[in-house]
Chain A
Amino acid sequence: MSQQTLPVALTPTPPPARAAGAGRRARRARLAIAAVALYVALVAIALLYIYPFLVQVATSFKTDADATADPVSLIPNPWSLAAYEKLFANSDFPLWFLNSAIVTVCVTLGRVFFVSLAGYALARLHFRGRATVFAIVVGVMAVPGVVLLIPKFLVLNQLGIYNTYIGMILPLLVDAAGVFIMKNFFESIPVSVEEQARIDGAGTFRIFWTVVLPMARPALITIVILSFQGSWNELAHFIVSASNPALTTLTKGVASLAAGALGSGNQYPLKLAAALIMTIPVAVMFFIFQRRIMNASEGAVKE
């Protein structure tokens, strides 16, 4: 208060500065304690989130007896590859992996193409019924998938594609949320580039394929991530679209392992090894595109 009467431009008087310094020091100490508390809390939660996966890796290298006797330990005693040997040599696991890979690759490629095609049309092309088509796409996003288990089976059966790769792949090829993301993205690109191409005489598909799509790389990567993760982790659709053991995917196969398909005993190393291998592709995908995934929710990817 007394400061106000002093000429500010002159040299500051020492007493207030010292008082301010003390206050700042107390404040800093309080902040430091808060910061330490924050880090302790964060590390504790992070441990809670990571430890289960570490236990999973460790247990997959344990013997059945060790896994039951000492489940908490992160060091197998003794080390054992029995679980992996059994999975790869004496089970259908490789077949499941192959099926999952086939379906995931087909679904991801198809989805990227169809979804961006539709997203482009809804964002840029003028045609009657566009608003209706978009409303339908948004409406579809609201339909809960689990409710459609029996209905989907009925249609697949009716079309005669039950128990075929086509029946497993086709319904997953289109994803309403993907159309939505691509439409939003295309709307954020300036029209001028396309108009230049149009003046040069390029057709709509060529503009889409050679001009617009290359610009949409960030959004396409988002779609690739979502499709890959979605179809690799899909379970319910594969249950209702096939019962033939030759068409079993990883999710279905590992679920059958969990129910004790490969013999008696709890066999935790075997089950956890299977679940671990199944997690590796999505984990790799996640770490490659980590930055993008972490920012993906910021309004459909803008660079």
Chain B
Amino acid sequence: MSATASQAAPAPTTARHPTGIRRGERLAGWLFVLPVILILGVFLFVPVPMALWVSFSDWSGRGSPLAPGVGFIGLENYGNITTGGGLAESNFGTSLRNNAWYVILVVPLQTALSLLLAVLVSRQILRGRGFFRTAFYFPSVTSSVAITVLWLFLFSTTGVVNQIIAWFGATGPNWFNEPRGLVHLALEGLGVTTPPAALTAGGFLGITWWDWLAGPSVAMFALILMAIFTTSGTFMLLFMAAIQSIDPSLAEAAMVDGANAWQRFWRVTLPQLRPALFTVLTLGLIGCWQVFDQIYTGTQGAPGNTTLTPAYLSYQAGFQDQKWGDGAAIAFILFLIIIAFTLLQRWVLRDKPVSRRRMRAYLTAGAAPSAAVPAASAETKKGATP
């Protein structure tokens, strides 16, 4: 029906100024976006207020949460997981601790590795470039479930990784059964076996400071390696695209000015990769706070709750323990955390005005090539999509 709707509309002279007779087009426009709006609305917008309600209610999972019998209990669920003092609070604290360490290690490492890979495979003269790109990207297309199954095998007690470690005469850890944190293990190696009283006296969310500082457990560390392995390819593609859009004459100009490869990378290439860097850090940060598949498939939070993450805890609270209010509350706190981190990182990486000291350096140098760099980089940014 939309096919005939706009037949009456005459050919517009310019696309920018609709003549008002294009009522058919307006109708078609709405019909075209309708399915998308409906599905997004029903499965993304309606669920949010509904879950918000559940997080403030005592719904037990029976019947509809909107049924009259379900009571409003205010912030009780939120209180339960943040100040309740019980298992719910310490589980939530533990999950935040685990995921925070995961983020701290995965985000910088995956960004650095993917940037390194992108730089390596973006060389002008590189034989087998296609092969290397394929090899690095392939883990990214496989499902997280399949990779987790593979990882459980590689890092099992008598698995591939430990066999290879054994070739070097060392004994590998009991990876997925080892709950001790890396920082604690390192301190133990330095002879610190009893925690200072100051760190065990206080705490946050039912976890002592000493335990917050434990570091990722060995089991979690295996999952951290997996995350780096599977995401570096995707982010490598993003960096590759950005590197290809850089104007090579800038690097040449820097080379003429006597900059070596290291300086060219840090002073010329990297500043121009800023938008790509921003994208990779944002996606990495958002992704890392949502660890779920790996935990569901691989460890279910074990050993000793050290691979428990907020996303998995939320699922567990709702679907397994039928504490839907707690689960929804955890999901909302997680949502806030992700938003907060995205904003924080946006603020840290904002375009800062050139500092006075640097401006003076530009002025005194006065050389044409260095002055041309900012202008030219603005040009390439615009010129990236001709």
Contact = CB atoms under 8 A, between A and B. Distances in A.
A94 interface: no
Given A229-B141, A279-B142, A259 B33 contact: no
Contacts of A283: 138, 141-142
Contact of B241 (A147, A255, A297): A297
15 contacts: A42-B128, A53-B138, A55-B153, A71-B163, A115-B36, A125-B28, A127-B27, A154-B47, A154-B54, A158-B66, A170-B43, A171-B39, A173-B39, A176-B40, A239-B315
Contacts of B51: 148, 150-151, 154
A143 interface: yes
A250 B25 CA distance: 43
Contact of A258 (B25, B148, B385): B148
Nearest to A287: B134
A213 B276 CA distance: 30
Interface string A168-197: 001101101001000000000001000100
B131 interface: yes
B40 A137 contact: yes
A150 B327 contact: yes
Nearest to A277: B146
A55 B65 CA distance: 48
A274 interface: yes
A146 interface: yes
B277 interface: no
Nearest to B52: A151
A128 B290 CA distance: 36
B296 A235 contact: yes
A8 B158 CA distance: 73
Grouping DSSP codes into helix (H, G, I), strand (E, B) and loop, the A interface class, with mixed when no group exceeds half, is helix
Given A149-B314, A299-B385, A42 B132 contact: yes
A83 interface: no
Interface of B: 2-7, 9, 11-12, 15, 18, 22, 24-30, 32-33, 35-37, 39-40, 42-44, 46-48, 50-51, 54, 64-66, 117, 120-121, 123, 126-128, 131-139, 141-150, 152-154, 156, 158-160, 163-164, 229, 237-238, 240-241, 244-245, 286, 289-290, 292-293, 296-298, 300, 311, 314-315, 318-319, 324, 327-328, 331-332, 334-335, 338, 342, 384-385
Contacts, number: 299
Which of B40, B136, B158: most chain A Cβ within 10 A? B40
B22, B43, B131, B138 pick with most chain A CB within 10 angstroms? B43
Most A C-beta atoms less than 10 A away, residue of B27, B35, B156, B300 = B35
Contact of B47 (A121, A144, A151, A205): A151
Nearest to A134: B33
A141 B293 CA distance: 20
B277 to A, nearest CB: 14
Interface string A231-242: 011011001100
B226 to A, nearest CB: 10
B136 A298 contact: no
Max chain A Cβ within 10 angstroms of own Cβ: one of B2, B3, B48:
B3
A220 interface: no
A209 to B, nearest CB: 8
B43 to A, nearest CB: 4
Nearest to A46: B135
A22 B338 CA distance: 58
Given A137-B36, A146-B311, A235-B296, A52 B244 contact: no
A50 interface: yes
A54 to B, nearest CB: 11
B28 A205 contact: yes
Given A126-B22, A294-B133, A59 B290 contact: no
